[in-house]
Amino acid sequence: MLGDFAIEDLFNYLLKRESTQFFVSVAIRSLAIGMVAIFEPVYLYLRFGNSIAHVLFFWAAVSGIFALVAVFGGRAMEKFGLKRTMLLSNFFYFAFYICLFFADISIVMLPLAIIMRAFGATLFWPAFHTDFIRFTKGEHRANGVSKMSIVSLCAGILSPIIGGFILAGLGYATLFVVVLMTLFTSSFPLFLSKERYEVYTDSYKKAWSRIKKNKDISFALGSLSIEAGIDFIIWPIFIFSIGVSYRQLGSISTVALILAAFFAWYIGKLSTRGNKNILLNIGSVLLAIACALQFFVKDVITTFFAQNFYRISKTTALIPFRTILYDKAASKRGQADEYVIYREIIMHITRFFFFMFLGIIFLIFPMPIRYTFLIAAVASLGYTFLAKPRLFSISKLFKKS
């Protein structure tokens, strides 16, 4: 007690606003995921006997299932509400990490892990994006995206170092336990406000038909999916393969996140002035350069500089990209959740085909994985298909051909 004022009263006061509750939840989740995310691909890489192809097939399967069942994420929002759906997703993530840890015991564990991760993502991400769209408004949305990025990045600043030290000293078992405990905690702030339900109206066929109706947006989302997939899966494996230790990997990621958090604040301020499209085009080009530079990384020092430039460039592109996308979803009003599901379908079906193709290439024609960063550089330019005016237009490209 502080006089007659209880600690829980202070806590409730600070979390009174729905936006604050959302950002606190994002911060805790980012802390949890940040401790393990960069080490997940390395864990699977070692489990599969240093086979990059099998890691790609694993994540291709996750994305393929996600794309197929994404519509059920919309149904879950309607039945359980946004916050309960996000909470429910944690149980699937819990099962995913358990299956990964016991993968050596039974051959069933890895397929089960794929299913658990896919369903966990299906429940969490559509509800997360829809909830964010509902409580952010018009011209303030860019500021909201910036705040979400800053909160996520700041919460993740220490998590790679923490994860690296836990992993180096106590192993994956302890790391998984700490991550799961933190992950469950992230859902609690959301329940301080009233539950929100969505009425999802798309049929399975209609949800998939949206891909053809939005060619430029679909191409931009597909480009994001490919570039982000390479960053999430291949980059950690690559820098591990050139001799960067767990602790060094965690420390490099932390410094990069600090710089990215600062730029998120700055880019957020610029985006609110109506410069979203210009920033997206600039950020896309910078990101392409950053991905290309990753090709030349060969040691800890070059990893450090490449990762920092990449995070700054990615932040410059991603904040206006997300803001434009959220604005488009919000303009659909009652159908914002349908738009979000369409987003998840196109991103994950693209990643499924890309990872399957890339996995087959690595399986048949082994090559240095650094060449994938050149693919990421080209994909980064696809971000601009979301901008107006665009540097490129898929519709114009089709007309010319």
Cα–Cα distances (Å) from 353 to 62, 246, 392, in that order, read 12, 30, 23
Distance, CA of 129 to CA of 202 (rounded, Å): 17
In a domain, 292, yes or no: yes
- Number of Cβ within 10 Å of residue 391's Cβ equals 14
Distance, CA of 397 to CA of 279 (rounded, Å): 23
Residue 386, token pair as written in the block: 């979301």
Residue 55's pLDDT is 94
Flag whether pLDDT at 107 surpasses 50: yes
CB 346 within 8 A of CB 211: yes
Distance, CA of 230 to CA of 233 (rounded, Å): 5
Domain residues for the domain of 154 are 17-400
In a domain, 2, yes or no: no
Residue 222, token pair as written in the block: 């597909």
Nearby residues of 351 by Cβ (< 8 Å), 6 or more positions away: 59, 60, 63, 225, 226, 229
What letter does residue 17 receive in the DSSP assignment? S
Residue 65's pLDDT is 96
In a domain, 96, yes or no: yes
In a domain, 283, yes or no: yes
CATH code of the domain covering residue 329: 1.20.1250.20
Confidence of residue 355 (pLDDT cuts 50, 70, 90): very high
pLDDT tens, position by position, 267-315: 666 666 567 788 888 889 999 999 999 999 888 888 888 888 898 888 8
Residue 254's pLDDT is 67
CB 149 within 8 A of CB 319: yes
In a domain, 356, yes or no: yes
* Torsion-angle region of 333 (φ positive above 0: left; ψ -120 to 50: alpha; else: beta): left
In a domain, 287, yes or no: yes
Residue 7, token pair as written in the block: 């600690």
Flag whether pLDDT at 261 surpasses 80: no
Domain count, the chain: 1
In a domain, 12, yes or no: no
Chain mean position to CA 165:
23
Confidence of residue 54 (pLDDT cuts 50, 70, 90): very high
pLDDT tens, position by position, 111-122: 999 999 999 999
The secondary element (H helix, E strand) that includes residue 79 is helix 52-80
Chain mean position to CA 146:
15
The secondary element (H helix, E strand) that includes residue 78 is helix 52-80
Residue 286's pLDDT is 92
Flag whether pLDDT at 16 surpasses 60: no
CB 112 within 8 A of CB 94: no
CB 366 within 8 A of CB 241: no
Confidence of residue 396 (pLDDT cuts 50, 70, 90): very low
CB 319 within 8 A of CB 146: yes
In a domain, 231, yes or no: yes
Chain mean position to CA 281:
21
Q: Mean pLDDT over residues 332-360, rounded?
A: 88
Flag whether pLDDT at 395 surpasses 60: no
Helix spans in 102-158 (H): 109-135, 141-157
Distance, CA of 272 to CA of 318 (rounded, Å): 14
Chain mean position to CA 260:
15
Residue 17's pLDDT is 58
